[in-house]
């Protein structure tokens, strides 16, 4: 199973600071081995960083979002074909912030998965319950709905191209990380959902944990049987922390 640590920069860092962070990561990435390191900077910087981070750089790039249509009159949007044209390998979709603030739905996530796969880009599909849903013991049901919607129309061979990120919304940016028990329990559950769809191939689909993953708790999280890496927000903005997380397997 591939181990993955992805940094979701969200809407942070002006150009100068973003370039500096890439420089710092490039000088430290030599210490990381056996882990696929991915960064998701703001879309504005992707083309430039893509030429800097050539295939030997040891750092892969992800977009934070995509629009599912091929091209046309969709002001402000970026297509999967455009991302592919600058050599992107990954794209985060369905992040809870996009669901909360930008009207992302299970339906739009499913369309984006299809669009990305048709251009050879691997979707990092984010799922996760809100705090009230967990209190109401609806977290499995919520995550099942999200995962199912994203994968149900996929062909069997797509299992090799997708990644899931379990990000309990109450853990994102709050410092309140899921406990190892909560994380493993949900990751194992997601694995059963993937197995129902893809059979044993599901064992090779990376399931990342996200939500206040940091340099202190990554080791414990990454030791869990069904946690195959992390999707890191705040802690990905500091190169030393991000590299420590990448070295936590």
| Shortest distance, position 172 Cβ to ligand PGA, whole Å | 4
The rounded distance, in Å, linking the Cα atoms of 102 and 118 is 24
Place of tokens 């430039």: 48
Told to judge if 167 belongs to the known catalytic residues of this protein, a careful annotator would answer yes
Report the relative pairing of strands 122-127 and 90-93 from DSSP bridges. parallel
Kindly tell me which of 151 and 172 has the beta carbon lying closer to ligand PGA.
Answer: 172
Kindly tell me which of 115 and 237 has the beta carbon lying closer to ligand PGA.
Answer: 237
> Which one among 22, 110, 163, 232 touches ligand PGA, defined by CB under 6 A?
232
Cβ-Cβ contacts under 8 Å for 207 (sequence gap 6 or more): 163, 164, 165, 166, 187, 190, 191, 194, 226, 227, 228
> Which one among 64, 158, 212, 248 touches ligand PGA, defined by CB under 6 A?
212
167 binds ligand PGA (CB under 6 A): yes
Per annotation, catalytic residue among 68, 95, 139, 187: 95
Told to judge if 141 belongs to the known catalytic residues of this protein, a careful annotator would answer no
Q: Taking CB positions, which residue lies at the least distance from ligand PGA?
A: 233
Kindly tell me which of 149 and 218 has the beta carbon lying closer to ligand PGA.
Answer: 218
Q: Please choose, out of 22-30, 51-59, 99-107, 232-240, the segment that lies near ligand PGA by the rule CB under 6 A.
A: 232-240
202 binds ligand PGA (CB under 6 A): no
Kindly tell me which of 28 and 210 has the beta carbon lying closer to ligand PGA.
Answer: 210
The residues that touch ligand PGA, with contacts defined as CB under 6 A, are 8, 167, 172-173, 210-213, 231-235
- What residues are annotated to the active site? 95, 167
């Amino acid at each position: 199973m591939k181990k993955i640590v992805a940094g979701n920069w969200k809407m942070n860092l002006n150009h100068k600071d973003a370039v500096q962070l890439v420089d710092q990561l490039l000088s430290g990435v030599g210490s990381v081995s056996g882990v696929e390191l991915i960064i998701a900077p703001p879309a504005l910087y992707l083309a430039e960083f893509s030429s800097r981070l050539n295939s030997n750089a040891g750092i892969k790039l992800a977009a934070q979002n995509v629009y599912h249509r091929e091209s046309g009159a969709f002001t402000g949007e970026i297509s999967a074909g455009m991302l592919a044209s600058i050599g992107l390998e990954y794209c985060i979709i369905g992040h809870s912030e996009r669901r909360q603030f930008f009207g992302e739905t299970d339906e739009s996530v499913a369309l984006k998965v299809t669009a990305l796969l048709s251009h050879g880009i691997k979707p990092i599909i984010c799922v996760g319950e809100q705090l009230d849903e967990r209190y109401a013991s609806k977290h499995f049901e919520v995550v099942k709905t999200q995962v199912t919607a994203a994968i149900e129309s996929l062909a069997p061979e797509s299992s090799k191209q997708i990644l899931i990120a379990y990000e309990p919304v109450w853990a994102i940016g709050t410092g309140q990380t899921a406990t190892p028990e909560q994380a493993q329990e949900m990751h194992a559950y997601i694995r059963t959902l993937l197995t129902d769809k893809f059979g044993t191939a599901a064992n090779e689909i990376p399931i990342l944990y996200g939500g206040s993953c940091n340099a202190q708790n990554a080791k414990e999280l990454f030791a869990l049987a069904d946690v195959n890496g992390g999707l890191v927000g705040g802690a990905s903005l500091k190169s030393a922390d991000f590299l420590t997380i990448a070295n936590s397997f």
